[in-house]
Structure 1
Amino acid sequence: MTVLLHCSGRPVARYLHRPDLAADLSPRPYLHPVTTPGGTPVTEELPEDHLHHLGVSVAVPDVEGHNFWGGRTFVRDRGPVELDNHGVQRHDDWKLRDPDGFVEDLSWRADGRELLRERRTVAAGELTPTAWALDFTFSLTNPGPAPLSLGSPATNGRPGAGYGGFFWRAPKEAAAPAAFTQDAEGEEAVHGRTADWLALRGANWTLVFAGATGETRRDPWFVRTEEYPGVGSSLAWRERLPLPPGATVVRRVVTVVADGAPDRGEVDSLVRRALS
């Protein structure tokens, strides 16, 4: 199943449901390709370095021991291990489908049971002739009678690997992209830190990620530039995130997708406009 997302009448993203994906990729719906207004692709799917990286998606490495990220599972005192513990995100219903956005209900399932219910809202909006905004909100609810918690390799013993949540895999180019915030620059300076916005700049494109709620802004950014280009907003950086029965966690990330290389002042202006 494929849904095209339009901005000002032109397609800017494709939303994919692929039941043919291998189980160890933790099958889930994702956006790919996402393109700038000028048509430059700014996402990657199934890259050789990490086959389980799927464009723009919501992926969590540890939901009460189940892997909804894909690939190996980091096990304390053992390291990355191939386990048969992968989950799948299944489409349940469309609550809304318009050319510029949708609202979708999904089930996160593993071992034949539903662990999480998700309401996902995605919308595209024009900012300027060379930039548009992808507004992505997800709400995860524990529908069962037992408490759950969300974790990451970091919470399982791998320092600095607190990834899990909203994740954007960008395409690899000849040179690694630049990463910067309002007051810091470089992967080491921005990785694992909070910032109102974080930019990833490639050869002829710029992505600017902004937390659109207070809770989202408190989540540290997971940033990779040298090994591969990717940015995530981390739900469980240092500690597991508890989810009691009936509880819901909500996050909203707005991403500016731009052609060229806007400077910090221009980026700040685009983010303010995207969040207004």
Structure 2
Amino acid sequence: MSRGIVIFLTDIFRPPQPPSTNAGRRAECGERKGQELGPMSNRSHRWARPRCNLAVVCAAIMWMMAVTLAEAAPAPFRLTLEPDFVTLFEGEYPVFRYVRGEILAPGAPEDRRRSTYIHPLYSVDDLPLTDDFPTDHLHHRGVSWMWYRVACDGITTDLWTLKGVRQRFERMLTPALYEDRAVLRFRNGWYQDADGKRILEERVTLTAHRAEGGGRIIDVELLFSAPGSPVTLGVSNTGYSGFGVRFGPCDSKTILTSTGPITADENRNPHRWADFTARFTDTLRLDGITVFDHPSNPNSPPGWTLRFYGYLNPAFTSRTDDYTIRAGEPLRLRYRLWVHRGRPSAERLEQIYQDFARRK
């Protein structure tokens, strides 16, 4: 297509060919008898002046620029919709799959059925990094947000291990797909098993940015509202609850936090961010995910549950009292995921955190 434009422009600027005979030239120039032929002037020889329609030229140039930009632009984001899943792609590579159906792994007990979380979350090169229904913790589920203790109207349930309460997908709002990012929004509810009561409204906003520099940023915003009675969220005895990432099988594992690297599992220690990097294939290639806690979250920086089997969990109530959501007083939580190749430096991760912290 670009070659055709060049030919078109060449034709526009090509001057008309002069007459082939000297007599013809004299006739064309209006030469009078006895006048000598001297050097051609632009004024007296029309074929020396390119004939050019400025509007046509401008249109052609703009067309050529548009074609060039279109050829150079990265492939846009797109979605595939299935009854149980919404999968986001950038070009041909999947970014993540959001689970909206209530699914159950083959052989898992019926009470492990769950919904409204991300799995798989993929590397920038199409490698699944998260796990779902792992045999050591069947209740762990990709990238999720679940609390060990949920209390409402005198009934205490457990969303972490799916005892007495569970999240249910209700609707997907119109997605916004741009060249540099995709924004997906979901509305869900928390329902008690005993009476089917909807005790909490959950709104999820996922913003996936275009992959660049060997990584991809995904911003997660969670908004919880109590439509009626207050709902109280609490943690386990060791501090786990809330937003978490469960990693798939891997080796060569490292955990780096905003206060430095760790060499053993941790409970409740405060960090602004934590990174898990490992080898998820049989090659020497390393991939990882960093979780950043936004400073606007309650009790930031939170205490973390960090596990070398593959778990990152910033729990904003792990070092404080339980948190109660009341009608008209929603809870807003914001996290950033950086999916990356290789093992990042602390300086690079702190830079990403500071950028995230500046966003209101």
**Structure 2 residue aligned with 1:4:** 87
Instruction: Give the 5 Å matches for 1:193-212.
Output: 193-203=269-279, 204-212=286-294
SS in 2 for 1:3: strand
**Structure 2 residue aligned with 1:53:** 140
Residues 41-72 of structure 1: per-residue CA shift (max 9 Å, x gap): 2100111101111111111121111111126x
- What's the RMSD between the two structures over aligned residues? 2.3
- Return the offset for 1:167: 1.1
**Structure 2 residue aligned with 1:244:** 326
Instruction: Give the 5 Å matches for 1:180-199.
Output: 180-186=256-262, 188=264, 191-199=267-275
Q: Report sequence identity in percent.
A: 22
Structure number having the greater helix percentage? 2
With normalisation by structure 1, the TM-score equals 0.83
Match for 2:311 among 183, 205, 230? 230
The runs of at least 4 consecutive aligned structure 1 residues that moved more than 4 Å come to 187-190, 272-276
Instruction: Give the 5 Å matches for 1:1-276.
Output: 1-7=84-90, 10-21=93-104, 23-25=110-112, 27-64=114-151, 65-70=156-161, 85-99=163-177, 100-110=182-192, 111=194, 112-126=196-210, 128-144=212-228, 146-154=229-237, 161-175=238-252, 177-186=253-262, 188=264, 191-203=267-279, 204-215=286-297, 217-225=300-308, 228-238=309-319, 239-273=321-355
Residue-pair matches, total: 253
With normalisation by structure 2, the TM-score equals 0.65
Q: Which moved more, 1:14-23 or 1:198-207?
A: 14-23
- Return the offset for 1:262: 1.8
Structure number having the greater strand percentage? 1
**Structure 2 residue aligned with 1:158:** none
SS in 1 for 2:173: strand
Is contact 2:291–2:336 with CA below 8 Å preserved after alignment? yes
**Structure 1 residue aligned with 2:8:** none
SS in 2 for 1:47: coil
Q: Which amino acid aligns with 1:42?
A: L
Structure 2, gaps ≥5 residues long? 1-83, 280-285
- Return the offset for 1:9: 6.6
SS in 2 for 1:54: coil
SS in 2 for 1:4: strand
Q: Which amino acid aligns with 1:88?
A: R
Residues 120, 209 of structure 1: alpha-carbon distance in 2 compared, 3 angstrom cutoff: same
**Structure 1 residue aligned with 2:67:** none
Select the structure of larger CA radius of gyration: 2
Residues 20, 43 of structure 1: alpha-carbon distance in 2 compared, 3 angstrom cutoff: closer
- Return the offset for 1:272: 4.2
SS in 1 for 2:248: coil
Residues 80-113 of structure 1: per-residue CA shift (max 9 Å, x gap): xxxxx33121112222324523111110001210
Residues 258, 274 of structure 1: alpha-carbon distance in 2 compared, 3 angstrom cutoff: farther
Is contact 1:187–1:223 with CA below 8 Å preserved after alignment? no
Q: Which amino acid aligns with 2:312?
A: V
> How far apart, in 1, do the equivalents of 2:120 and 2:348 lie?
25
